[in-house]
């Protein structure tokens, strides 16, 4: 099997994605065939990608370089390279693509005849291939180009349902924010070229002066942070994710925002190297703020997909906390803690890909069946859509960090790494780390509450709308897509050492410090590194215990109460005629306590409208709650007003419409540049 090299698998995968894109365009007329064929090709391509990633991650020790095209024009060599870090992200991408492609076969059915499905698949495959290339780009020029392609293609996908004004607004906001982020990256790459004379990021960065490193770090942090959707650069995320079709939301939230993590590790960790402590502190603080605020905003949200989007902000925050701790530890020479925190961050990355992918796909299924994204229109779906409800519950448990799902493992490791980072003698940093633990705990609790609300309001109780009452279970392919992801969540939660084994290779490459043998007790136990505390958990035994307790409880119940006797009566309804769905907790009511506690942050205001002539015996009452986003009100709105005002002025003063004035601008600029060249140059 010598021909099955990583190079071969990688290029086959990329070519197959491109074929899928072209096939979609060719079969534009026949939507059904187009959707089926493109999905199948994408599935095969993702299998190849999976194989390439595994091969590279497990069996190769050298960086794979694939020179696709070499030209005499400087900096225009198309080189793909894949080391362990790239392979890890390609792995995440391929798993998610596999499931999303399966899911799309069914999901795209409700677009037949309404939207251009062929175009969708063209963009879909293009989106995947652009992310693939982001992870494998061999130099900064290629990276930048594919990064931009990814941004533009995803913009078109976000605004796929283009006739809704909300979608248009979300699309514009997204493209503007992502371009601002890209601008920062561009400056960083230019600085890189200015001082090293090369766009190659695999060479040493020792030519960069100290202050330029700091500037580049900030540029990378803002540039990648915008894509990651961390606070305060997050505003596009809660709009773009709900606007996009659900399979695209899953891809965007599952893997696209992870390109930022990849970029941060690739350019800051590997290229710049971590020497300054404040870098780690900056990342940590941003991560803490994102984790807490992200989930706090998620909690009060009524729109399922927007809630998931805010939850993505929270999870990116958790990943950032891990990376921040690892940066701090490495800069202080605590290699073991650094490696542990990095492992935790990477594990949370892959876990978030799995469970957020699953959750978004399930949210898509719900939308597919109920035709609404608002929780207040749902309820009782567990009876109508049991399979989707099961998978959704799995994803929700995972994101809430419940044993035995995978979210627990990565958050546990993050906690361990923070605790291990607290070392006597560094008061300021220790206080910060304690706050980080508090932030992580708070966000974990709120996340659990948040998903109780999401699951309870949407899936339990009585149906709140006609559509919810008559919803049907989704097609098999959709269940399969989300089911695989949820199953992987459970499996990697029970057997975390396999996932950790893969991540260990990445950490080995990044930090040259193997962590796996420290974490591995035997097959049952997952240790916090022995050098540090040596406390351990065993997910398998926890699962076993849960099963035993449940079985035991059932058994004892049986012994005490004997054979089951069932009596069926209606719930006591306080003497009203009948229970109706409006007697249930609503989503807004459920989140009220938190809304009151964090009143300062949400700035919530309520509006009660009483209809009818008599105040005490109204015909109808209408109650609505509005919250306002502080960041939008105090940061983004003023900036956007300023830009608009400036543009309007510029239109009258600078952009006069006269060809002569424009020529004069060019002429004067030329003269000034020549003068500058003569005097300064």
Binding site for another protein (CB under 8 A): 651, 655-660, 663-664, 666-667, 670-671, 674-675, 677-678, 681
Positive/negative CA dihedral, 446, 448, 449, 453: positive
| Cα separation, 435 vs 439, whole angstroms | 6
For another protein, the closer of residues 626 and 661 by Cβ is: 661
**Can you tell me whether residue 84 is helix, strand or coil?**
helix
Nearest distance, CB of residue 665 and another protein, angstroms: 10
Nearest distance, CB of residue 670 and another protein, angstroms: 7
How do the residues of the chain divide into helix, strand and coil, expressed in percent and rounded to 5?
70, 5, 25
For another protein, the closer of residues 558 and 651 by Cβ is: 651
- Is residue 49 within 8 A of residue 93, CB to CB? The reply is yes
Structure tokens at 412: 């546990």
- Single out the residue of 86, 118, 117 nearest to residue 13, CA to CA: 86
Structure tokens at 423: 């070392």
Nearest distance, CB of residue 198 and another protein, angstroms: 22
Nearest distance, CB of residue 671 and another protein, angstroms: 7
Nearest distance, CB of residue 192 and another protein, angstroms: 24
- Kindly report the length of the chain: 681
Q: Which run of H or of E encompasses 526?
A: strand 526-527
Nearest distance, CB of residue 637 and another protein, angstroms: 25
- Single out the residue of 134, 231, 236 nearest to residue 180, CA to CA: 236
Task: Mention every residue, 6+ apart, whose C-beta is less than 8 A from residue 211.
Answer: none
For another protein, the closer of residues 165 and 681 by Cβ is: 681
For another protein, the closer of residues 114 and 680 by Cβ is: 680
For another protein, the closer of residues 600 and 666 by Cβ is: 666
Nearest distance, CB of residue 69 and another protein, angstroms: 23
Structure tokens at 91: 């792995």
Q: Is 163 left (phi over 0), alpha (psi -120 to 50) or beta?
A: alpha
- What does each C-alpha distance from 38 to 16, 105, 531 come to in angstroms? 10, 9, 51
Nearest distance, CB of residue 664 and another protein, angstroms: 5
For another protein, the closer of residues 203 and 668 by Cβ is: 668
| Cα separation, 182 vs 178, whole angstroms | 6
For another protein, the closer of residues 615 and 658 by Cβ is: 658
For another protein, the closer of residues 574 and 659 by Cβ is: 659
Structure tokens at 119: 């175009």
- Single out the residue of 679, 595, 635 nearest to residue 233, CA to CA: 635
**Can you tell me whether residue 520 is helix, strand or coil?**
strand
For another protein, the closer of residues 546 and 664 by Cβ is: 664
**Can you tell me whether residue 608 is helix, strand or coil?**
strand
| Cα separation, 397 vs 296, whole angstroms | 18
- Is residue 432 within 8 A of residue 568, CB to CB? The reply is no
Nearest distance, CB of residue 658 and another protein, angstroms: 5
Q: Is 676 left (phi over 0), alpha (psi -120 to 50) or beta?
A: alpha
Nearest distance, CB of residue 652 and another protein, angstroms: 9
List the Cα angle 604/608/609 in 5-degree steps. 145
- Single out the residue of 502, 516, 515 nearest to residue 85, CA to CA: 502
**Cis status, amide bond into 240, omega within 30 of 0:** no
Nearest distance, CB of residue 662 and another protein, angstroms: 10
For another protein, the closer of residues 580 and 656 by Cβ is: 656
- Is residue 169 within 8 A of residue 236, CB to CB? The reply is no
For another protein, the closer of residues 635 and 645 by Cβ is: 645
Q: Token pair 């220790």 is at which residue? A: 430
Nearest distance, CB of residue 641 and another protein, angstroms: 21
Residue 611 φ then ψ, to 5°: -105, 145
For another protein, the closer of residues 423 and 645 by Cβ is: 645
For another protein, the closer of residues 498 and 662 by Cβ is: 662
**Cis status, amide bond into 404, omega within 30 of 0:** yes
Structure tokens at 394: 């799995």
State the DSSP string of 419-433: HHH--TT-HHHHHHH
Q: CB neighbours (10 Å) of residue 72?
A: 6
For another protein, the closer of residues 32 and 649 by Cβ is: 649
Nearest distance, CB of residue 73 and another protein, angstroms: 16
Nearest distance, CB of residue 649 and another protein, angstroms: 14
Nearest distance, CB of residue 643 and another protein, angstroms: 18
- What does each C-alpha distance from 133 to 192, 267, 391 come to in angstroms? 21, 16, 31
For another protein, the closer of residues 609 and 648 by Cβ is: 648
């Amino acid at each position: 099997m010598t021909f099955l090299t990583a190079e071969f698998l990688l290029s086959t995968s990329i070519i197959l994605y491109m074929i899928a894109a072209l096939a979609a365009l060719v079969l534009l007329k026949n939507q059904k065939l187009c959707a089926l064929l493109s999905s199948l090709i994408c599935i095969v391509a993702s299998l190849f990608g999976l194989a390439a990633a595994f091969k590279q991650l497990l069996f190769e020790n050298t960086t794979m370089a694939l020179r696709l095209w070499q030209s005499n024009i400087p900096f225009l060599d198309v080189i793909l390279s894949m080391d362990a870090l790239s392979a890890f992200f390609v792995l995440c991408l391929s798993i998610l693509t596999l499931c999303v492609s399966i899911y799309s076969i069914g999901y795209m059915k409700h677009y037949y005849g309404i939207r251009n499905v062929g175009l969708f698949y063209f963009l879909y495959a293009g989106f995947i291939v652009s992310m693939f290339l982001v992870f494998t780009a061999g130099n900064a020029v290629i990276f930048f180009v594919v990064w931009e392609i990814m941004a533009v293609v995803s913009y078109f996908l976000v605004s796929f349902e283009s006739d809704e004004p909300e979608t248009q607004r979300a699309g514009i906001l997204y493209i503007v924010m992502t371009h601002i982020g890209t601008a920062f990256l561009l400056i960083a790459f230019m600085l890189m070229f200015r001082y090293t004379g090369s766009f190659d990021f695999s060479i040493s960065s020792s030519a960069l002066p100290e202050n330029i490193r700091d500037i580049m770090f900030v540029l990378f942090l803002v540039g990648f942070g915008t894509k990651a959707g961390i606070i305060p650069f997050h505003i596009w995320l809660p709009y773009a994710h709900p606007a996009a079709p659900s399979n695209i939301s899953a891809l965007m939230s599952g893997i696209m925002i992870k390109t930022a993590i990849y970029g941060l590790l690739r350019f800051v960790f590997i290229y710049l190297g971590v020497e300054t402590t404040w870098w780690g502190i900056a990342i940590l603080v941003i991560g803490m703020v994102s984790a807490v605020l992200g989930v706090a905003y998620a909690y009060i949200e009524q729109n399922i997909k927007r809630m998931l989007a805010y939850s993505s902000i929270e999870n990116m925050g958790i990943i950032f906390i891990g990376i921040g701790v690892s940066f701090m530890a490495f800069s202080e020479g605590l290699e073991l803690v650094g490696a542990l925190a990095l492992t935790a961050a990477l594990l949370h990355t892959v876990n978030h890909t799995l469970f957020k992918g699953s959750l978004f796909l399930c949210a898509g299924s719900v939308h597919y069946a109920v035709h609404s994204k608002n929780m207040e229109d749902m309820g009782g779906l567990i009876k109508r859509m049991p399979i989707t409800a099961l998978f959704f519950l799995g994803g929700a448990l995972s994101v809430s960090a419940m044993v035995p799902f995978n979210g627990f493992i990565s958050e546990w490791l993050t906690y361990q790494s923070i605790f291990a980072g607290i070392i006597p003698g560094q008061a300021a940093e220790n206080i910060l780390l304690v706050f980080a633990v508090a932030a992580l705990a708070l966000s974990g609790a709120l996340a659990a509450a948040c998903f109780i609300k999401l699951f309870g309001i949407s899936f339990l109780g009585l149906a709140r709308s006609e559509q919810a009452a008559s919803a049907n279970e989704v097609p098999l392919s959709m269940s399969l897509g989300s089911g695989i992801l949820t199953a992987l969540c459970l499996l990697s939660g029970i057997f975390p050492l396999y996932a950790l084994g893969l991540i260990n290779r990445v950490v080995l490459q990044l930090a040259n410090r193997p962590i796996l043998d420290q974490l591995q007790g035997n097959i049952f136990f997952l240790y916090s590194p022995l050098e540090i505390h040596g406390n351990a958990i065993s997910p398998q035994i926890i699962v076993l215990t849960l099963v035993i307790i449940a079985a035991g409880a059932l058994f004892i119940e049986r012994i005490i109460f004997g054979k089951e006797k069932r009596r069926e009566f209606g719930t006591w309804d306080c003497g009203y005629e009948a229970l109706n769905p409006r007697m249930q907790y609503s989503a807004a009511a459920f989140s009220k306590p938190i809304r009151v506690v964090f009143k300062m942050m949400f700035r919530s205001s309520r509006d009660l409208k009483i209809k009818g002539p008599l105040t005490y015996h109204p015909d109808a009452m209408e109650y609505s709650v509005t919250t306002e986003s502080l960041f939008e009100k105090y940061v983004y709105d003023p900036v956007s007003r300023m830009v608009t005002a400036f543009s309007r002025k510029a239109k009258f003063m600078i952009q006069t419409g006269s060809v002569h004035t424009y020529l004069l601008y060019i002429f004067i600029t030329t003269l000034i540049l020549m003068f500058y060249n003569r005097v300064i140059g």
